[in-house]
Chains A and B, each alone.
Chain A
């Protein structure tokens, strides 16, 4: 049996690879190796050179970020250090179709999209597993902080948060199917980031001191708006994002906005209006091209609809249950009642209102540290 480890060149996936290499020695066997390293080439950073501050034709680099040549170099160095066969696989076309385009479309529709979850379901745990199996690896592993357990009674696979609550990445993994969970190992699920960093040092991994990456991998500057402008420009299009009215929740016109793409729910700065009390973006009305603003109090909402739900623990339509619901990566899960509906939808009602529930982000339902299900926030109800 061969395990394919997805190596990004960062500390986490490098330690995951090291742990697997130690526990699955290939030495002495005459068959295929027990562990191989693979890096997914997802996005060509040279495509939008202006984002990197480089002139066209120059070899601009976004160092320390996903898919840069430096990261591939690091991943290769770690694989070499561990004695693992190592390959780069090119998923650029699939990534653009499955992640970048939906990201841009969602953004243009007034949402605040979260591409990492989409990338996990479309690329990392779909395309990658497919390629791994094609080359003879039936199991894949990643450096995510999450845990998978097989339920001995039902035979189903269950997904749990990583042991380290500050690094838990289960929020991004809600879309994994049973088939995908069955083929996936998360060697770091039981560890804290501190321990992982310590292991990287103890094992003398070449990337032991590399800083963690923060931004969305294909938006090297961290500025979505700038990325979308550059991306549309490359496609020969321009952002049809015209200004409109900026109104209060009761319909009072306060001024003009500079295009919906410049705003996100919960935003306070950059509204260009001076009032006595601080104003926040409450919602984006794409139909009437309006930015709705209000007080911090008005940002608090209690009910939402979630679409395209993946039930990791099966729940029948019509059933309700109590859960902790997480509505963005840094959100502390809050108590709520979840009602499963038909067509992969759910209705969520928080015990107490939550701040800045944002369409386009994922809502993930937890039972303790177990992921019951997750989906995309389609609308927020008053």
Chain B
């Protein structure tokens, strides 16, 4: 059975060139970057090489990049670090309801420590309204944290405008850019962010490596205590191979960004159009005009997303619904319920996310099995009224969905 991987927002395969770049740092150049000797110097040089590659991709300075274990640590470090560094008596954090759990659960933890948190609601478009963020600002606001691209919908948030607002009110601005870095242009100056989280494994780098961009002059309390690594901003012996992998992945992404947006975007559109043309009662969720070129989220009426994902997997196609919880079972996505979809609707939404290694053949294979899987699930759904659906022309599905 030929397998197709359409879950690149969960993680991506490491690019062969990235793997090659990492290899020497396991067996030969294994040194500790803090050591004085030749081995240490080799490791140190590799880390700085990686730092430069990341800085270049983000239009940042190398000394503004701190390496971490990944997106979750970067988000935790940014939120805890900024709030705890603030000397004001009362502290207020602004974020949104569609953030990743790495931000949302960190915000919840801060609330328990007495921090006031505003979760700005987001409408059906899946795009945050900058005016709503501005309205939430109070005299005690210490940080605004708004993600760049949403992991489930792919919707891109208006960071430039929010960045401008943050600057006008003299408030620090963090973004979780885990899903956007390497997929669309990310320029810390253009976006006006002070802190930015990213993760290597979302852009064909290795797992366990990430970075936090910290604008020069921004002081935050470290999350961990230990040695003087990363200019006292993040202790722990550096993950040299991971940093090199991240650097190489950033370099590759930067080199091919424009052509990949074009190529992968075309594959995504082909998939999306093919699904909408062949499956009745299916509709795209979220604003189509402001999206990552890699992602589409489609809701299929009368479909239990969980069963869909399993049925597709048994036929060789990997996609996803909602966010996987610790047991591996699926809860209705908090992002989809936050933008006003019911639990039922949230459960019927499927995310297809593409990456550098997807081919037209992948799309054709998917389009071959998908309509049959949908039909199989619907035919066994107690709620599905086949007669009502077969009377619908394929194009009427959006209207039918809206009327439900």
Q: B17 near A: Cβ within 8 Å?
A: no
Decide: A135 near B327, CB < 8 A? Known: A30-B1, A89-B306, A130-B380.
no
Do A69 and B327 have beta carbons less than 8 Å apart? yes
Q: Closest Cβ of chain B: how far from A78's Cβ, in Å? A: 14
Once the chains are docked, how many angstroms separate the CA of A131 from the CA of B376? 11
CB < 8 Å neighbour of B314 from A39, A76, A136: A136
Q: A278 near B: Cβ within 8 Å?
A: no
Q: Closest Cβ of chain A: how far from B221's Cβ, in Å? A: 23
Chain A residue nearest to B315 (CB atoms) is A32
| Chain B residues near A57 (CB-CB < 8 A) | 112
| Chain B residues near A69 (CB-CB < 8 A) | 326-327
Once the chains are docked, how many angstroms separate the CA of A131 from the CA of B305? 11
Do B327 and A72 have beta carbons less than 8 Å apart? yes
Do B314 and A33 have beta carbons less than 8 Å apart? yes
Do A88 and B328 have beta carbons less than 8 Å apart? yes
Do B329 and A89 have beta carbons less than 8 Å apart? yes
| Chain A residues near B331 (CB-CB < 8 A) | 90
Decide: A36 near B314, CB < 8 A? Known: A134-B304, A136-B376.
yes
CB < 8 Å neighbour of A136 from B112, B311, B330: B311
CB < 8 Å neighbour of A135 from B112, B310, B343, B382: B310
Q: A2 near B: Cβ within 8 Å?
A: yes
Q: B377 near A: Cβ within 8 Å?
A: yes
Q: A347 near B: Cβ within 8 Å?
A: no
The 8 A CB mask of A62-86 against B (1 = contact, 0 = none) is 0000000100100010000000010
Q: A268 near B: Cβ within 8 Å?
A: no
Q: Closest Cβ of chain B: how far from A327's Cβ, in Å? A: 33
Do B327 and A88 have beta carbons less than 8 Å apart? yes
The 8 A CB mask of A106-132 against B (1 = contact, 0 = none) is 000000000000000000000000110
Give chain A's interface residue range (CB within 8 Å of chain B): 20 to 34
Chain A residue nearest to B312 (CB atoms) is A135
Q: A31 near B: Cβ within 8 Å?
A: yes
Q: B340 near A: Cβ within 8 Å?
A: no
Once the chains are docked, how many angstroms separate the CA of A89 from the CA of B326? 13
Q: Which of B240-299 contact A (CB under 8 A)?
A: none
| Chain B residues near A135 (CB-CB < 8 A) | 307, 310-311, 314
Once the chains are docked, how many angstroms separate the CA of A93 from the CA of B310? 19
Decide: A134 near B376, CB < 8 A? Known: A85-B313, A89-B306.
yes
Q: Which of B331-364 contact A (CB under 8 A)?
A: 331, 343
Once the chains are docked, how many angstroms separate the CA of A33 from the CA of B377? 18
Once the chains are docked, how many angstroms separate the CA of A88 from the CA of B377? 17
Do B313 and A134 have beta carbons less than 8 Å apart? no
Once the chains are docked, how many angstroms separate the CA of A350 from the CA of B377? 47
| Chain B residues near A88 (CB-CB < 8 A) | 327-330
Q: A177 near B: Cβ within 8 Å?
A: no
Q: Closest Cβ of chain B: how far from A290's Cβ, in Å? A: 43
| Chain B residues near A72 (CB-CB < 8 A) | 327-329
CB < 8 Å neighbour of A131 from B112, B307, B313, B315: B307
Q: Which of B109-132 contact A (CB under 8 A)?
A: 112
Do B307 and A41 have beta carbons less than 8 Å apart? no
Q: A133 near B: Cβ within 8 Å?
A: yes
Q: Closest Cβ of chain A: how far from B109's Cβ, in Å? A: 9
Q: Closest Cβ of chain B: how far from A161's Cβ, in Å? A: 31
The 8 A CB mask of A11-54 against B (1 = contact, 0 = none) is 00000000000000000001111001001010000000000000
Q: Which of A41, A76, A134 has the most CB of B within 10 A?
A: A134
Do A134 and B380 have beta carbons less than 8 Å apart? yes
Q: Closest Cβ of chain A: how far from B281's Cβ, in Å? A: 16
Once the chains are docked, how many angstroms separate the CA of A286 from the CA of B79? 56
Across the A-B interface, give the 9 residue pairs with the lowest CB-CB distance, nearest first.
A88-B329, A41-B329, A135-B311, A134-B307, A90-B329, A135-B310, A72-B327, A88-B328, A32-B314
24 contacts between A and B (CB under 8 A): A2-B314, A32-B314, A33-B314, A36-B314, A39-B329, A72-B328, A85-B313, A85-B314, A88-B328, A88-B329, A89-B307, A89-B329, A90-B329, A90-B330, A93-B343, A130-B382, A131-B307, A134-B304, A134-B311, A135-B307, A135-B314, A136-B314, A136-B315, A136-B376
Known pairs A36-B314, A85-B313, A134-B381 / 13 extra A-B pairs, C-beta < 8 Å: A2-B314, A30-B1, A31-B1, A32-B314, A41-B329, A72-B329, A85-B314, A88-B327, A88-B330, A89-B329, A90-B329, A134-B376, A136-B376
| Chain A residues in the interface with B (C-beta under 8 A) | 2, 30-33, 36, 39, 41, 57, 69, 72, 76, 85, 87-90, 93, 130-131, 133-136
